[in-house]
Structure 1
Amino acid sequence: MHSRKRDFYASKSSGCSNLSELDISHVPRLLNPYRKAQVNSSIIWQSFDHPGDTWMPGGWLGFNKITGEYLSITCWENPENPARGPFSESLDPDGSNQYVLLYNGSQVYWSSGLWNGQYFSSVPGTAQQTVFNFTFVDNRERKYAMYTITDSSVITRFVVGSSGLGQQFLWLSNRQEWQPVFTQPLSHCDVPSLCGPFGLCDLESPSLCRCPQGFEPVLNEEWELNDWNLGCKRKTQLKCGTKSNLNREGEERDGFFMMINMRLPSNGEKLMVISAEECEMACLNNCSCSAYSFDTSCLIWTANLQNLQQLYSGDHGGGTVYLRLAAADLPSTNNSHKVKTVVIVSLVGGLLGMVIVLFGLIWLCRRWRKSQILSKVEGSLIRFSYGDLRHATKNFSEKLGGGGFGSVFKGALPDSTQVAVKKLEGSRQGEKQFQAEVLTLGAIQHINLLRLCGFCCESSQRLLVYEFMPNGSLDSVLFKKDSDIMLSWNMRYRISLGIARGLAYLHEECRECIIHCDIKPGNILLDADFKAKVADFGMAKLIGRDFSRVLTTMRGTIGYLAPEWISGLPISPKVDVYSFGMMLFEIISGQRNSMHFEEGSKYYYPSWAAQKVIEGDEKCLLDSRLGGEADLEEVRRASRVACWCIQDAEMDRPIMGQVVQSLEGVLEVDVPRIPRSLQHLMEDQISHMYDDVSSVAEQGASESSQGGYK
């Protein structure tokens, strides 16, 4: 964080008066923002009127109604150059009572939400009220906001970085480093024009920004400082071509490089053409055209490409961009090599064609039945016949598991893709209702959610086809005595973070809020790389975005049920947060969330674990099989998150988005309090609760290692 340059901005109080701990004797008199002039005891100059890139406690940001000037903070050009950069934070220029992050002083890419009298609506209230005290003033002279510190021992600052992120930092004296506690926007690639013209934002790239095929940085020196504003330039200039393979000078014409799974720039021009070939020619014959894309319609870009982003599996909104390049920059552009390749391919193709003609009909007849599988519904979902799935599963011979909703069988498609087929039992849904629910599930795509591949709906048969998870369920890996798999701490932490991301997607990013209702290790599946996949969200409850909670019948598994389930109260997504907290204790300890017997006494494990977290003895929760090999800071963070998740009152539990940020280390996790229900829970109360929901417990116990398929 370049502490030597920035520590000057750190304040240890709610205003600017208590600065005794800062050594400012070496600062010249007229440049010292904290030294008052001796003439008439008035302030000649102060840093709060010139905040640079940092908003300090006691400083103000807003609008001077007399001069018409906005007081804002602006990022550095790069971490080594304090010149003004393109990103800033200011009171909304449109006049609303909110703060915005701006690109080039005009393009808004994040807003704080309107001031509601206590805090800004889009910033979590707890982040503003626990340590910070916000004040919003609107009088005849000025409209501005100011924040102070309620704890004089806290050192904090808000900075707009050269990468466009707005971050609130706290100084951790024990580590001698700055800890970010609030970051917006959450993704670097949501910052507009971060990588400059033709720059490509790639979250998996070591340098975040990179140049696409045929391009190079405009200034390598600035890219080495993570200053990408100037973007990329072409290695070879374009040569405006014609419809022939050669342009007027006899040189090979420009071509296109295919870039798949890209976020499309927003400034495209739509053309009325009906085919990809026409779209390509329209771009090629336009000397200003830089790229085109064709899906169901044609888009071309005649200016510099801005906001290009490489997407990955689980991301939405991806498309294919064809980037225009000079012939010299296209892969394998040697013309003679192309001619030789065409001749060889033609000869070989002719010989193979004769063979194909002889055996084609026989092959087509044999493949006809299997090709019926490829009839697709609504995009990516495949509609299978019952005969297809009976053949794929060898007449349902290899059973993976089963539960209250049906049995799961292993199968293989004609292309050898392994799948898990769930045969639903007791389903009374009509065909239209079943297909509507299946299409809703099929639209849910995330790297940490089990993917639905297809379905079958014939007569009374209802089957769902899922991707196959070779490592089974988290339940079998954690608790099965004869399991030959031992999860390291790093794997457990990655699994916990993956589950949290999947639930955050269901709760906060889907069109309708989806409550899973049965989070437990048996419903978490592991792929070949031990990445977590949340399964069985087919029994979930959908809530419209206009509602915060819903009244429904109790479902789920004993030991993971939130108190509002037991009380019969309306539920919200916080029931999943509670279940996640209980399961997180199990992942940390490798012990089931139940009664334990030790040396003639018994105790309820979650209550004991929560007490250890309060006492700061989180290390004793760690699975003894790990032999103490774990990152103790991650153990502390995960244990505190689990304890916060199982609080009695749902308002005291975090949302899953905050859980993700806490596990990622973006948010600091305070010491929680022990839940009151666990603190006073007696043995007879536990037995009574188990008796009341014994039928639910029996159903949960019957789930097997693949019971998470729904």
Structure 2
Amino acid sequence: MGTLLLFPAAAFLCCALLVSGISYSEFVYPNFTASNLQFVENSGTFLSSRNGSFKAAIFNPRSNQINFYLCVIHVASNMIIWSANRDSPISNSGKMYLTQEGISIFDEKGNLKWSTPKISARVNAMMLNELGNLILLDRYNGSLWESFHQPTDTILMGQLFPVSGSLFSALSNSDLSVGDYNLTLTSSDVLLQWRGQTYWKLSMDQNAFVNSNYMAEYMAVNRTGLYLLGGNGTVVIIQVALPLSDFRVASLESSGHFTIKRFVAGKWVNDFTGPSDSCQIPLSCGRIGSCSDGSVSNTCSCPANFHSAFLNSTGCVPMDSTYSFYPACNSTDNTTDSNSSTLSYLKIGYGYNYFSNQFSGPVREGVNLTVCQNLCSGDCSCTGFLYEDSSGDCYWMRSYLGSLMSDTERWKDQSGYIKVLAGSSPAKPGGNNNDQSSSKFPLIVIVLLPSTAFVILIVFLGFLWWRMRGASCSEGSTKPDRYNNPPPSEELEDSLHIPGLPKRFGCKEMEAATDNFRTLIGSGGFGAVYKGTLPDNSVVAVKKITNLGVQGKREFCTEIAVIGNIHHVNLVKLRGFCAQGSLRLLVYEYMSHGSLDRVLFSNVGPVLEWQERFDIALGTARGLAYLHGGCQHKIIHCDIKPENILLHDNFQAKISDFGLSKLLNPEQSGLFTTMRGTRGYLAPEWLTNSAISEKTDVYSYGMVLLEIVSGRKNCLFRTHSHSLEGGDSSGTSLSSGSELLYFPLFALEMYEQGRYLELSDPRLESRVTAEEIEKLVRVALCCVHEEPSHRPSMATVVGMLEGGIPLAHPRIESLNFLRFYGRRFAEASTVAGQRNDEEYALLYAQANISLPTSLSGFR
């Protein structure tokens, strides 16, 4: 929403621009035209902020060049803080036009080079305010468009940089075109990336203080430092404290550094630089250039088998001119036009690392050098690899080759190989590296006669059949040790090289950790869960997937790669996985208090106090909000229910089974309807074949929230005295003194009457107030609106629970469907003696209501 800017109407009349260029105003009006030639005496300046700190101009960064841009400039330092047409410069005769439709920039031939997006109302004026924000105003002085909302490479004080926003570096100080470096703000961190590869995170910097696990909403710089803020600006997630300053900026430099600097006594003083080690910059020494001593100043050289072409510009090239760099693919199809028979590798020696390794991790762990090589050879996005002798870890260089980091002590057992197109027959890896030829190794290409190929095909198919028969080691049979330590040939055949996979465990390792799957701690739609202990004595929960819907190991691992890279305090952490033959295991952190349903609905043990319930509700909301908008891949859970909310120490809520819905076998119709979800928590759109979105999870969350309030399932028994009794007791039966109650409808009726205390868990007695209950009930009813568009987002739910967003009132007209559900539920109550369990199951399925366990085993 645009910011409303108030100032006297008379200001428009007295602030007219003197076209002579000698004095400026903070306003210009439609039908205004500017070019550098028109204002050449004043360096193209046509607009100035009221305090004189900023100006707008048709400007060229270097006086000896011909490229001009529409810029906002800090006057005292002549620093460009924003530019419009950075990828489409014009000449000094190119023109900027301000019309009622917005800003347009044309070259000298009249070709459109840049314009503001379509604007909702007519432009009445353009203003440059005292913060350096270029704003288009409507006739009510409301903002239609702001340069602060379209940042380029710099953030100023007073500017709020939102989550998912990006800054892009310029190619150089004189060329403002978008470069290869970008800064992105996520809900929990600030990332620097080069061509899609991360090379720095703010949270890992020694000067950054991580203060909270809340989700960030925006980043800002002020007099005291840099902040990531959430909770409508009330919660500090990450803070970088800096010396006091009245003016500072945060910029992504053309070098790839993120800097924060203040302007003092006529000069810029640098207060913060990330990364502090310049060798971490992807192109610090050009392609394949070796960088050392990056904390002070770069020392660049070329590794073995490479020499300097134009060091720090294009980097290093192979010494043997018959070799050329491998042309990596730019897609995910893993194909390339290069003939695989020409592939080779140049060894660069030991003591090297690559900038992205600490953020992407190894592609595979515990493999031999040949497997690592063949993994890279089989993927066209791999342009080289690093191999650690001691651990067998295999790291890739992806797509675009950057600089190497050199430290012979730190990475003394890590060797590197660069993928090239070969012109002669090089040596295999691991050989003598005294000369150039000994550091190269090709893919072995075997040309087979048709008859020989047929024989080998038969042998290969027989081998696959033998492996499929003995794929699982969890059925009580004893398998060879090859499952944990396969020979190189079998390891290669069974290899999976999907980027981002978490730790992969062996089948035998999991059998040992779980004592041969001895201790069962739970079960659900995906399979059984067992308690286990890893060699480091950490306790884990091992989920054995038995109802697998995907076909094959690769699809399973692709899903796990997504899940394994999602980290949030309110999501259960995936420690690793096992995928061998038909066996699928997921290894999660162990939750000491089990699932919410066991604690909430049980009459054994202490009752959950109200503050504990509220914290569980808030934690669950935060976890869902992160899945919906905070992580790289939006994830819709599709099965939010108390059984999938696990409780850790101090009853900290963590959502489980997120992202696994694609793995479910659709034949699990006993628990899942349409595609996935559990009856009683299914949103109405499941039953009408409407589009499924994140608002489907919001509905399920609302149903869970009502159960948290009442301490009972939403379908429960109520006596005539309105007391709630034993909704989860399997031995309860219908009697003349009780009736079935559909709690969501009861909650709606009590909301309409303002009788909130009747909704609370009676076990809480007087330890909760009507105001506390009202808050959760109103949020819950808003979440279960029939129309998905009327439901709040989970981020808004978090804001309402935290108090940063005003509590909304539910729309009664969007909740009337609950009355229909309630009537269907009442019908089941009145005919309790006339229907059998099978008939009840059909009725409840039609009404999307979960059965009480006393009536049927359907759930």
TM-score grouping bracket, smaller chain normalisation: 0.5 to 0.7
Cα distance per residue 1:533-554 (max 9 Å; x no partner): 1112244359xxxxxxxx9934
Query: Which residue does the alignment assign to 2:122?
Result: 137
Cα gap change, 1:585 to 1:407, in 2 (>3 Å): same
Change (3 A) 1:384 1:558: same
Residue 692 of structure 2 is matched in structure 1 by 571
Q: Give the 3 Å change call, closer, same or farther, for CA 558–476 of structure 1 in structure 2.
A: same
User: Using the alignment, how far apart are the partners of 1:668 and 1:71 within structure 2?
Assistant: 40
**CA–CA distance in structure 2, aligned partners of residues 404 and 699 of structure 1:** 17
2:575 corresponding residue in structure 1: 453
> Which of 210, 217, 235 in structure 1 is aligned with 2:243?
217
Contact 1:523 1:536 in 2 (8 A): yes
1:673 counterpart (783, 796, 811): 811
- Structure showing the higher helix proportion among its residues: 1
Matched letter for residue 136 of structure 1: A
Counterpart position of 2:285: 271
Asked if the contact 2:534/2:540 (under 8 Å) is kept, the reply is: yes
Q: Aligned to 1:383, which of 487, 500, 504?
A: 504
| 1:662 and 2:662 correspond | no
Partner of 1:427: 548
For 1:145, give the aligned amino acid: D
Give the secondary structure class of the aligned counterpart of 1:447: coil
**Residue of structure 1 in register with 2:781 after alignment:** 643
What is the CA–CA distance in structure 2 between the aligned matches of 1:554 and 1:494, rounded to whole Å? 31
Give 1:463 deviation, angstroms.
1.3
Residue in structure 1 matching 2:620, options 481, 495, 499 = 499
When residues 379 and 515 of structure 1 are mapped into structure 2, their CA distance, relative to the original with a 3 A threshold, is closer
Q: Does 1:484 align with 2:606?
A: yes
8 Å CA contact 1:585–1:642 kept in 2: the answer is yes
Alignment check: 8 A CA contact 2:484 2:508 kept: no
Residue 744 of structure 2 is matched in structure 1 by 606
> Secondary structure of the equivalent of 2:804?
coil
Q: Which residue of 1 aligns with 2:19?
A: none
Change (3 A) 1:561 1:381: same
User: What residue is the counterpart of 1:531 in the other structure?
Assistant: 652
Give the C-alpha shift of residue 188 in structure 1. Answer: 7.0
Paired position in structure 2 for 1:393: 514
CA contact (8 A) 1:558 1:690 kept: no
Q: Residues 218 and 232 of structure 1 are in contact (CA less than 8 Å); yes or no, is this contact kept in structure 2?
A: no
Deviation, 1:634, is 5.2
- Give the 3-state SS of the residue equivalent to 2:121 in structure 1: strand
Specify whether residues 370 and 555 from structure 1 end up closer, same or farther in structure 2 by C-alpha distance, changes over 3 A only. closer
**Gap runs ≥5 in structure 1:** 1-9, 17-32, 35-42, 51-60, 75-82, 96-102, 109-133, 150-159, 168-184, 223-227, 239-256, 288-293, 300-367, 543-550, 703-710
Paired with 1:165 and 1:660, the residues of 2 have a C-alpha distance of 21
The 1:206/1:511 distance shift into structure 2, 3 A limit, reads closer
Q: Using a 3 Å threshold, how does the CA distance of structure 1 residues 602 and 464 change in structure 2: closer, same or farther?
A: closer
Q: Does 1:296 align with 2:354?
A: yes
The structure 2 residue matched to 1:407, chosen from 528, 548, 552, is 528
Query: Aligned partners of 1:523 and 1:263: how far apart in 2?
Result: 43
Q: Is the 8 A contact 1:518 1:555 kept in 2?
A: yes
Cα distance per residue 1:589-639 (max 9 Å; x no partner)? 322211331214443211111222233443443334334445765543332
Change (3 A) 1:422 1:643: same
Deviations 1:193-233 (A, max 9, x none): 4467xx45366999878656xxx6246999xxxxx984999
The 3 A distance-change label for structure 1 pair 266 and 415 is closer
TM-score (norm 2): 0.45
Moved more, 618-627 or 673-682: 618-627
Verify the 8 A CA contact 2:593 2:648 in the aligned structure 1. yes
For structure 1, which segment, 457-466 or 578-587, has the greater mean C-alpha deviation from structure 2 after superposition? 457-466
The whole-number CA distance in structure 2 between the counterparts of 1:274 and 1:206 is: 43
- CA shift, 1:447, in A, is 2.3
Amino acid at match of 2:502: L
Counterparts of 1:63-82 in structure 2 under 5 Å?
65=31
Q: Partner letter of residue 520 of structure 1?
A: K
Deviation larger for 566-575 or 264-273 = 264-273
1:284 equivalenced with 2:296 (yes/no): yes
Q: Deviations over 1:378-407 (max 9, x none)?
A: 456122122111110111111101123211
* TM-score relative to the length of structure 1: 0.53
Q: Which residue of 1 aligns with 2:99?
A: none
Are the counterparts in 2 of residues 517 and 541 from structure 1 also a CA contact under 8 Å? no
Q: Secondary structure at the match of 1:493?
A: helix
Q: What CA distance in whole angstroms lies between the structure 2 residues aligned with 1:270 and 1:519?
A: 47
Alignment partners' CA distance in 2, 1:574 and 1:265: 45
- The higher relative CO (CA closer than 8 Å, separation ≥ 6) is in 1
Equivalent residue pairs, number: 469
Residues 193 and 229 of structure 1 are in contact (CA less than 8 Å); yes or no, is this contact kept in structure 2?
A: no
**Amino acid in the other structure paired with 2:82:** S
- The residue identity in structure 2 corresponding to 1:457 is A
Aligned AA (1:284): V
Identity of aligned residues (%): 33
* 1:153-205 superposed Cα distances (whole Å, 9 cap, x missing partner): xxxxxxx99754599xxxxxxxxxxxxxxxxx997784354467xx4536699
The aligned amino acid for 2:513 is A
1:122 corresponding residue in structure 2: none
2:700 partner SS:
helix
Query: 8 Å contact 2:282–2:355 — kept in the other structure?
Result: no
Alpha-carbon distance between aligned partners in 1 of 2:235 and 2:765, rounded to the nearest angstrom: 33
- Report if the CA contact (8 A) 1:523-1:535 is conserved: yes
Of the three residues 441, 445, 454, the one matched with 2:563 is 441
Q: Secondary structure at the match of 1:270?
A: coil
* Aligned-pair CA distance for 1:646: 0.6
- Match of residue 691 from structure 1: 842
Indicate which of 219, 230, 233 corresponds to 1:191.
Answer: 219
Q: What letter is aligned with 1:434? A: F
In structure 1, C-alpha distance between the alignment counterparts of 2:819 and 2:263, rounded to whole Å = 58
Q: Is the 8 A contact 1:560 1:578 kept in 2?
A: yes
What letter is aligned with 2:568?
A: H
How much has 1:587 moved relative to structure 2?
A: 1.5
Distance 2:688 2:48 in 1: 50
Distance 1:72 1:561, change over 3 A: farther
Q: 1:555 to 1:136 in 2, by over 3 A?
A: same
One-letter amino acid matched to 1:271: C
Distance 1:523 1:570 in 2: 23
Q: Give 1:323's aligned residue.
A: none
In structure 2, what is the equivalent of residue 347 of structure 1?
Answer: none
CA separation of 1:49 and 1:408: change in aligned 2, threshold 3 A? farther
Q: Give the partner amino acid of 1:191.
A: M
2:530 counterpart letter in structure 1: F
Structure 2 letter corresponding to 1:479: F
- Secondary structure of the equivalent of 2:138? strand
The residue number in structure 2 matching 1:618 is 756
Query: Judging changes above 3 Å, is the alpha-carbon distance between structure 1 residues 700 and 661 closer, same or farther for their aligned structure 2 residues?
Result: farther
Query: Who is 2:82 aligned against?
Result: 106
Distance in 1 separating the partners of 2:525 and 2:237: 47
CA distance in 2, matches of 1:416, 1:274: 41
Confirm whether residue 201 of structure 1 aligns to residue 247 of structure 2: no
1:474 to 565, 588, 596: 596
Give the RMSD, CA atoms, in angstroms: 5.7
